């Protein structure tokens, strides 16, 4: 778990690393990938709300969530994810870290995702400058190619310098209002209301990522 420091709102998401050719209408294996915000709680955090949206076959796609871990309270087909609490960028890529993860190459080979929703970097930024974290993000994104990746973030609202770094590092859009203190379960994680506020911003980037040629 990252040091105390209130996370702010997730950006609406930005499409990163498109692969060539629009993805054909049909089944899509989506892998939520990240740290404690991705693991979530309150019915899987943002993944619970994302599963409800995905179950409606938006854009004609039939989604399933993949990854080495699962959250059994979510509906069948939407329980899985990758990553874990306290994870830093290098943990997702190389393995190990607070959640003893497998390297990304192992995760990708086992889960074979078509689309990745990535949230990572805030745990680095509690102890590192953005200038050292940015190349790590670039390296991880390169390792995810040619899979389509939507990058989102949770912004820090307590430390203005970290907040600015995260916005610059992730090129995030305007946050979705999770800065209100009533939207947290503790000093570092959104509650159910907070998760619900930033999850809808993922819908358009996911569909855009699939449509990109």
In this prediction, residue 106 has a pLDDT band, given cuts at 50, 70 and 90, of very high
Q: Nearest-CA neighbor of 118 among 98, 94, 138? A: 138
Rounded average pLDDT over 98-115: 96
Distance, CA of 76 to CA of 165 (rounded, Å): 37
Q: Provide the token pair at 61.
A: 């796609």
Lowest mean pLDDT among 101-110, 146-155, 174-183: 174-183
Residue 171, preceding peptide bond in cis (omega within 30° of 0): no
Q: Nearest-CA neighbor of 33 among 175, 149, 135, 139? A: 149
The CATH class of the 25-153+166-178+186-211 domain is alpha beta
Rounded average pLDDT over 162-187: 48
Lowest mean pLDDT among 36-45, 49-58, 171-180: 171-180
HSE value, Cβ hemisphere, 13 Å, CA-based, for 85: 8
Beta bridge partners of 115: 30, 148
Model pLDDT for residues 118-162, shown as the tens digit of each residue: 888 878 878 887 778 778 877 888 898 888 888 875 444 444 444
CB 30 within 8 A of CB 36: no
HSE value, Cβ hemisphere, 13 Å, CA-based, for 66: 15
């Amino acid at each position: 778990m990252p040091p105390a420091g209130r996370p702010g709102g997730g950006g609406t998401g930005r499409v990163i690393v498109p692969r060539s050719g629009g993805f054909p209408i049909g089944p899509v294996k989506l892998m939520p990938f990240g740290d404690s915000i991705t693991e979530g709680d309150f019915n899987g955090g943002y993944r619970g709300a994302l599963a409800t949206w995905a179950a409606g076959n938006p854009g004609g796609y039939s989604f399933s969530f993949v990854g080495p871990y699962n959250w059994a309270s979510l509906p069948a087909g939407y329980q899985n994810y990758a990553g874990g609490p306290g994870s830093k960028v290098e943990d997702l890529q190389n393995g190990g870290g607070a959640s003893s993860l497998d390297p990304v190459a192992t995760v990708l080979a086992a889960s074979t995702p078509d689309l990745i929703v990535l949230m990572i970097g805030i745990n680095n930024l509690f102890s590192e400058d953005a200038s050292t974290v940015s190349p790590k993000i670039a390296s991880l994104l390169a390792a995810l190619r040619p899979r389509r990746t939507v990058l989102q973030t949770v912004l820090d609202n307590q430390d203005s310098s970290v907040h600015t770094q995260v916005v610059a590092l992730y090129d995030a859009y305007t946050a979705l209002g999770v800065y209100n203190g009533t939207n947290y379960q503790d000093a570092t994680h959104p509650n159910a209301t907070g998760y619900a506020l930033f999850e809808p911003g993922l819908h358009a980037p996911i569909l855009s990522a699939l449509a990109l040629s």
